[in-house]
C-alpha cells in the first residue's frame, strides 16, 4: 500500500516532468545506498515518510468528484495560465554586458593552469572502485 501511494503521489506531483521525476527517484535514499545489480532496500525509508503517505491516503479518500462543467473550467484556467507563462519573458539580458577582453582571457588561462595538465583528446577508459557505491559521499548531506 505504501508503494502504491508513493507512485500515485509521484504521478500527481511530477505529471509530465520526467526529468524531475528521475532526479527525485535517483536521489532517494534506497537508490543512493544501492550498488548496481543490488536489490533496493526500502527499510531505510523513515517512519515520517510512511506517516506522511498515510495522511495523503486519508486525504485521497475524501477527494471531490468534479462535474464535466467544473473540469472544463479547470482546463480553461490551466490553459490560460500556461499561455500567460509562455508569453512572459524567461531570460534577462545581463547589465552590464559581459566583457571578453584581455583580462577575461588571462583569467581563463590562470584557472586552466590551476586545473593541471589538460586531458589528452581521444577515447579513454575510467575505472571506479566498487567501494564508490557504498561511499557516504553518495548520500550523506554533509559530504555531498
DSSP state, 130? Answer: G
Confidence of residue 8 (pLDDT cuts 50, 70, 90): confident
Band of residue 89 on the pLDDT scale cut at 50, 70, 90: low
Q: Is the pTM of this model over 0.75?
A: no
Q: What are phi and psi of 72, to 5 degrees?
A: -65, -40
Q: Would you give the distance in Å from CA 53 to the centre of its chain? A: 20
> If DSSP codes are grouped into helix, strand and coil, which group holds residue 141?
coil
Mean pLDDT in residue range 8-28 = 82
- Quick one: pLDDT at residue 49? 62
d(CA 45, CA 140): 15
Amino acid at each position: 500500500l505504501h508503494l502504491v501511494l508513493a507512485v500515485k503521489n509521484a504521478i500527481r506531483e511530477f505529471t509530465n516532468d520526467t526529468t524531475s521525476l528521475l532526479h527525485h527517484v535517483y536521489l532517494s535514499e534506497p537508490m543512493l545506498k544501492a550498488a548496481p545489480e543490488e536489490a533496493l532496500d526500502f527499510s531505510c525509508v523513515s517512519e515520517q515518510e510512511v506517516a506522511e503517505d498515510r495522511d495523503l491516503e486519508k486525504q485521497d479518500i475524501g477527494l471531490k468528484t468534479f462535474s464535466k462543467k467544473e473540469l472544463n473550467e479547470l482546463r480553461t484556467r490551466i490553459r490560460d495560465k500556461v499561455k500567460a507563462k509562455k508569453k512572459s519573458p524567461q531570460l534577462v539580458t545581463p547589465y552590464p554586458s559581459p566583457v571578453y577582453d584581455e583580462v577575461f582571457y588571462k583569467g581563463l588561462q590562470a584557472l586552466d593552469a590551476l586545473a593541471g595538465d589538460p586531458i589528452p583528446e581521444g577515447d579513454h577508459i575510467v575505472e571506479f572502485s566498487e567501494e564508490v557505491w557504498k561511499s557516504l559521499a553518495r548520500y550523506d548531506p554533509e559530504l555531498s
